[in-house]
């Protein structure tokens, strides 16, 4: 004789909740929650900045060199830099007028130093925030597994100087980034500590 036992709805709900909770806590599971966490963890340590490479101040630019002075003057307008003008002899009897740019007190507080180059740094304006995983290549939950994901992202923590029209006109990449949302791709690798972003795209 066989017996069957009915499981109460309350017990069934508890079992389902426990299963979902376990899956959510398993950082190595191949799911969109872990993929989002991997992308956002990476970019939390890699902010978006004005320049592709670190800069050093003070800097000097000829007053007639509009291509170089215009972006720096935009930062003067936002109070990040201070500007002074001086004459500099370029030949024995010829002098040329230059602008000197240096960090202001406000600029120093907004400055992100480069730990690999003393005296260098950048003005960083926010972190990429992945909001949705659009697709992912087949993979597994085993360490060493990889997947390429496509995702949507935005920037949500930009300071006032970065959202100013003068700054965005002077720095087109800044304007593009803050005008999101955008899409991008990344390669993720499953490790013993969970999914990590191993290969970001080349998009700034």
Domain boundary among 122, 139, 154: 122
pLDDT per position as a tens digit, 93-151? 556 889 999 999 999 999 999 999 999 999 999 999 999 999 999 999 899 999 999 99
Residue count of the chain: 204
Same domain (yes/no): 34, 75: no
- Domain membership flag for residue 21: no
Full-model pTM: 0.78
Q: pLDDT at position 203, please?
A: 64
143: domain range?
A: 28-51+123-200
Mean pLDDT of the chain: 86
- What's the pLDDT score for residue 28? 79
pLDDT, tens only, 68-88: 999 999 999 999 999 998 876
Q: Are residues 35 and 101 in the same domain?
A: no
Q: Are residues 132 and 173 in the same domain?
A: yes
Last residue of a domain, one of 70, 102, 122: 122
Shared-domain flag, residues 105 and 132: no
* Same domain as 93, residue 45: no
Q: Which residue has the higher pLDDT, 19 or 58?
A: 58
For residue 194, pLDDT over 90 is answered with yes
Evaluate whether residue 7 is within a structural domain.
no
Secondary structure of the chain as H, E, C letters: CCCCCCCCHHHHHHHHHHHHHHHHHCCCCCCHHHHHHHHHHHHHCCCEECCCCCEECCEEEECCCHHHHHHHHHHHHCCCEEEEEEEEECCCCCEEEEEEEEECHHHHHHEEECCCCCCEEEEEEECEEEEEEEEECCCCCCCCCEEEEEEEEEECCCCHHHHCHHHHHHCHHHHHHHCCCEEEEEEEEEECCEEEEEEECCCC
C-beta atoms surrounding 7 within 10 Å: 9
Q: How many domains does the chain have?
A: 2
Range from 24-38, 55-69, 97-111, 165-179 carrying the lowest mean pLDDT: 24-38
Q: What mean pLDDT comes out for the span 24-28?
A: 71
- Amino acid 44: pLDDT: 94
The residue among 122, 155, 176 that closes a domain is 122
């Amino acid at each position: 004789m066989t017996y069957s036992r009915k499981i109460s709805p309350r017990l069934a709900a508890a079992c389902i909740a426990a299963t979902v909770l376990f899956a959510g806590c398993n950082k190595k599971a191949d799911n969109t929650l872990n993929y989002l966490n991997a992308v956002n963890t990476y970019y939390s340590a890699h902010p978006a900045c004005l320049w592709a490479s670190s800069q050093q101040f003070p800097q000097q630019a000829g007053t007639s060199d509009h291509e170089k002075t215009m972006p720096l003057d935009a930062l003067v307008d936002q109070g990040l830099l201070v500007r002074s003008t001086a004459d500099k002899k370029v030949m024995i009897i010829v002098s040329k007028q230059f602008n000197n740019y240096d960090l202001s007190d406000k600029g120093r507080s907004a400055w992100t130093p480069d730990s690999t180059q003393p005296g260098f740094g950048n003005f960083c304006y926010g972190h990429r925030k992945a909001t949705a995983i659009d697709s992912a290549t087949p993979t597994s939950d085993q360490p060493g597994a990889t997947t390429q994901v496509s995702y949507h992202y935005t920037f949500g923590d930009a300071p006032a100087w970065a959202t100013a029209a003068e700054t965005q006109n002077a720095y087109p990449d800044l304007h593009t980034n803050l005008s999101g949302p955008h899409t991008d791709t990344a390669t993720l690798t499953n490790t013993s500590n969970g999914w990590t972003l191993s290969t970001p795209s080349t998009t700034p």
